[in-house]
Structure 1
Amino acid sequence: MVKLGRSAAVAALAAAVLALGACGGSDGKSEGGGASGGGSAEAKTLTLWHYETGNSAMGTAWAEAMKEFEASHPGVKVKFEEKGFEQIQKTAGMVLNSDEAPDIMEYNKGNATAGLLSKQGLLTDLTEEATKRGWDKLLSPSLQTTAKYDERGIMGSGKWFGVPNYGEYVMVYYNKDMFEKAGVKVPTTFDEFTAALDTFAKKGTTPIAMAGAEYPAQQLFYLLALNKANRAWIDSFELYKGKVDFHGPEFTYAAQTISDWVKKGYIAKNSAGMKAEDMGVAFIGGKFPIMVSGSWWFGRMQEEIKGFKWGSFLWPGQFAPGSSGNIWVVPEKSKNKDLAYDFIDITMKKEVQNLLGNSGGIPVAADPAAITDEQNKELIENFNKLSTQDGLAFYPDWPAPGYYDVLVSGVQELINGDKKPEEVLDEIAQPYNDNLADIGN
């Protein structure tokens, strides 16, 4: 992993913020000159950022929501700007603390992201709006976990600082043609899953498409830890309800297994430098039989896979990373907050939620009878099954600010063999424990 010197890193971050600001400034001041907080029905522009690709389920649904918003708000235009996941991940705090903040933005849920910004006073308290507009009735208590943050920035209780309007989870995508050719059946247990990996590897095929330079590899690492975990361990790690031993059986198993899977040829060593897009394109191109990643890819799979049959199945275990989807947040410096609230309302409408479900997403307020595609129904049913069995385990990078990069670096070192598993566990434990000390736990 290339590391910049301090001055180079600061310069690069500043350049990124300037680039965001250059294309992201809102020209939506109300005609009454009210550029401060609450917004006005007379505002001419709603500046909106999100990072869903246009042909994804969410991208499709949000595009329709923008059309409905403009139709129901004559004279108001949506100024939409698509941002990269990594772009927002790394610069949101600086941008939202500037005059270049958008009016509404998709943002990552969790302590390290939305929780941190809420604690810093950069997000609008949506509690009153959630009650007034009925968002609290549309979302189940488990889905509200990522909407609420306390004064420490810890999710699960306190004030509403975001609104989720879809669900998501990590699962297994598979190439049905490659499975059939290799004589491999869809596994229902973890032993069957590893046996399938071994079958492909012995036939000279690397089974798992992977990306070590971004989120996919750390999510696989977490999945492996979850196979040795229980709910109490998850709550300790994610919600600080107990002490986490990074050299305990959960993380030790995960680190050792990643290292072993590289040696066995289940994961390519060069995947340490791959990004999520590289991984997805390789799977879509028929180069790998398996991709372990999120439901956010589902709509794109339906749209782009042409040369083979494909399917998906739940990770063989009780738990998997997952939760409500990313959340709509309204920056404290939003110039048109009322319009932002109206847009959130539209994304929760049955028509938009039904479109989301029929486009390969997991809606939270759709009419089940309106979901017509069989693959989409299976996707939603698997999410409901995982949720019903208390299997949604959130994400590994949520607990501490900056933890995403810590995990990317650590799992990269496991894949390329730069460090031993026990060394990587020490590396990922320190920032976690430092954050616990900072918040007084």
Structure 2
Amino acid sequence: MLRTGTSYKLKFTRLRTLFAPLAAVGFLGATLAGAQAQTLTTWDDYTLPSQTTVIQTLNSKFEAAHPGVKINRTGRTFDDLSMTLKLTLSSGDGPVLTKANQGAQEMGAMVKQKLLLPVDEYIAKYGWDKKQSDSVLARDRWSDKGEFGVGPTYGISGLGEMVGLYYNSKVLKEAGIDAPPATFEDLVKDVDTLKAKGTPAFMMGTVKGHMALHMFAAVSQAMIGAGDRKALDDIIYGRGGSWNTPYNLAAAKQVQTWADGAFNDGYQGISDDDAAQLYAGGQGAFLLTGTWRLGDLQQNPDIHFMAVPPPSGVKNGLVVGGIDLAWTITALAKDKATQDLAGDYLNYMVSDEAAATWAAAGYLPAVALEHPDQVKVPPLLGETLKVWDAVTAANALGHYPDWASPTMLKTLSDNLARVLAKDMTPADFVSAVDKDYQDYMASLKKG
């Protein structure tokens, strides 16, 4: 993979607003005592080429530090993982360690089915609560009553995530746009300018993946100031509320408007991966997606990252994101020795060595670096860290909307496709999403 730009130093204070500094952990010098020959089966969602390189490197180092232990890894796409994980575990097969989506659809359902084991013992043992704040760990908590954000903790994440706006400065300048948009109104004007020039404003792919959903969520939450976030928090954490809001309606209208000429031709026939590859190659002005694309977009020095700018008058608009899918221990870890080995693996995934490896590859680690002066950070990640600092300092990290109910991902994705095709009005879309949520809330009360 081509790596560009100069080296940057990660300041120790970066990420500190949300995540506490790392306690010094000498991982390679502290292997699991008495570890016997054993195979750990792991599933993860690191399927992009640069992600695969990192996780394979980390697994090899874990094996080297644990003589006799073998990692049997399977990489699955987000959708593949979601479709197969619960079913496989329910049959008594599958991984001992797996990434899992934190929302009701996946983690909440698996906790209810007793397919995951709490990790609070390892939080205390390894001091993960000193590395990640309580508000972040809460995103991996589910109570026995099906309450999100409270109760035992079932996972830990190694990467931070934001859904933001990538922009190609060269493409913008060629269209007569000298600077990235400062407000949402500026973004709308820039898109109109690009359309008039015949330049694709956004690279988009909808045949596979959730790029349209990320666009809708990012636009909607950018309209919510950090000081007004309680209603969204209540919805995501199952405390009630309504999706029938001006923000969601306006976002659905905007995405539908952009689908009429602001996306690349043929976007309905390509995947989000295809769209990202085309964007990395210099096609399109903007790409609205997550920081999981950093490693594969950094090859183009014209590509930069920013938060979706909020409308004028909105202070510290929310940014979709927080943490990546959580590492979890499944109920297939039957004995204490296997559980402890799995806990040690999770601890390595949030170690300084793992964080430094991800950062050097251009990805956003979920913990501060113990030795930031020893890590060469690619320029695109350096820009992203500045955004992360500002967002976390303002308490402006939002949520993934699909966390809100077990069926929300399908409801959002299926109906957004209809919105883009103009087969559904934005108002009907918002009503369908709200019905999904209200039905789920009613089922909780019956339970």
Q: If the length of structure 2 is used for normalisation, what is the TM-score?
A: 0.84
* Residue aligned with 2:49, SS: coil
- Superposed CA deviations along residues 393-427 of structure 1, whole A, max 9, x for unmatched, are 11011100121111111111111111122222222
Aligned to 1:191: 185
* Residue aligned with 1:299, SS: helix
CA distance in 2, matches of 1:291, 1:227: 16
Note if contact 1:212-1:408 (Cα within 8 Å) is conserved in structure 2. Answer: no
Deviation at 1:270, TM superposition (A): 4.4
- Superposed CA deviations along residues 210-234 of structure 1, whole A, max 9, x for unmatched, are 2334311112111222233330221
Aligned to 2:27: none
Deviation at 1:43, TM superposition (A): 4.0
1:150-169 superposed matches below 5 A: 150-169=143-162
CA distance in 2, matches of 1:289, 1:271: 15
Which amino acid in the other structure matches residue 320 of structure 2?
A: P
Aligned to 1:36: none
Note if contact 1:106-1:328 (Cα within 8 Å) is conserved in structure 2. Answer: yes
Deviation at 1:194, TM superposition (A): 1.1
One of 378, 390, 393 as aligned partner of 1:388: 393
One of 236, 251, 256 as aligned partner of 1:254: 251
Deviation at 1:240, TM superposition (A): 2.9
1:426-437 superposed matches below 5 A: 426-437=431-442
- Superposed CA deviations along residues 43-84 of structure 1, whole A, max 9, x for unmatched, are 42111111213533x544322221221111112211111112
Aligned to 1:369: 373
Which amino acid in the other structure matches residue 381 of structure 2?
A: N
- Superposed CA deviations along residues 250-290 of structure 1, whole A, max 9, x for unmatched, are 22111221222223x22358434542212212212322111
- Whether 2:282 is the aligned partner of 1:286: answer yes
Aligned to 2:324: 325
CA distance in 1, matches of 2:87, 2:276: 30
Note if contact 1:111-1:399 (Cα within 8 Å) is conserved in structure 2. Answer: yes
CA distance in 1, matches of 2:364, 2:351: 14
Aligned to 1:65: 58
Deviation at 1:201, TM superposition (A): 0.4
Number of aligned residue pairs: 396
Which amino acid in the other structure matches residue 353 of structure 1?
A: A
Q: If the length of structure 1 is used for normalisation, what is the TM-score?
A: 0.85
CA distance in 1, matches of 2:230, 2:132: 24
Note if contact 1:208-1:292 (Cα within 8 Å) is conserved in structure 2. Answer: yes
Deviation at 1:122, TM superposition (A): 0.8
* Residue aligned with 1:438, SS: helix
CA distance in 1, matches of 2:190, 2:164: 16
Aligned to 1:13: none
* Residue aligned with 1:156, SS: strand
Which amino acid in the other structure matches residue 202 of structure 1?
A: A
Deviation at 1:102, TM superposition (A): 0.7
Note if contact 1:62-1:347 (Cα within 8 Å) is conserved in structure 2. Answer: no
Aligned to 1:237: 235
Aligned to 2:211: 216
Aligned to 2:352: 350
One of 403, 408, 412 as aligned partner of 1:403: 408
Unpaired runs of at least 5, structure 2: 1-33, 311-316
* Residue aligned with 2:416, SS: helix
Note if contact 1:219-1:396 (Cα within 8 Å) is conserved in structure 2. Answer: no
Aligned to 1:11: none
Which amino acid in the other structure matches residue 333 of structure 1?
A: L
- Whether 2:130 is the aligned partner of 1:137: answer yes
CA distance in 2, matches of 1:109, 1:210: 26
Which amino acid in the other structure matches residue 187 of structure 1?
A: P
- Superposed CA deviations along residues 133-165 of structure 1, whole A, max 9, x for unmatched, are 211221112321222222233332210101112
Cα pair distance change 1:380/1:344, threshold 3 Å? same
* Residue aligned with 1:419, SS: coil
CA distance in 2, matches of 1:107, 1:43: 27
Aligned to 2:197: 203
- Whether 2:298 is the aligned partner of 1:298: answer no
Cα pair distance change 1:134/1:311, threshold 3 Å? same
Note if contact 1:238-1:398 (Cα within 8 Å) is conserved in structure 2. Answer: yes
- Superposed CA deviations along residues 100-140 of structure 1, whole A, max 9, x for unmatched, are 22111112222322122112211011111211121122111
* Residue aligned with 1:146, SS: helix
Note if contact 1:61-1:353 (Cα within 8 Å) is conserved in structure 2. Answer: no
* Residue aligned with 1:404, SS: helix
CA distance in 2, matches of 1:151, 1:109: 15
Greater mean alpha carbon deviation, residues 279-288 or residues 200-209: 279-288
CA distance in 1, matches of 2:373, 2:219: 35
**RMSD of aligned C-alpha atoms?**
2.0
Which amino acid in the other structure matches residue 372 of structure 1?
A: K
CA distance in 2, matches of 1:152, 1:405: 24
- Whether 2:306 is the aligned partner of 1:313: answer yes
1:31-180 superposed matches below 5 A: 41-53=35-47, 55-56=49-50, 58-180=51-173
Greater mean alpha carbon deviation, residues 429-438 or residues 365-374: 365-374
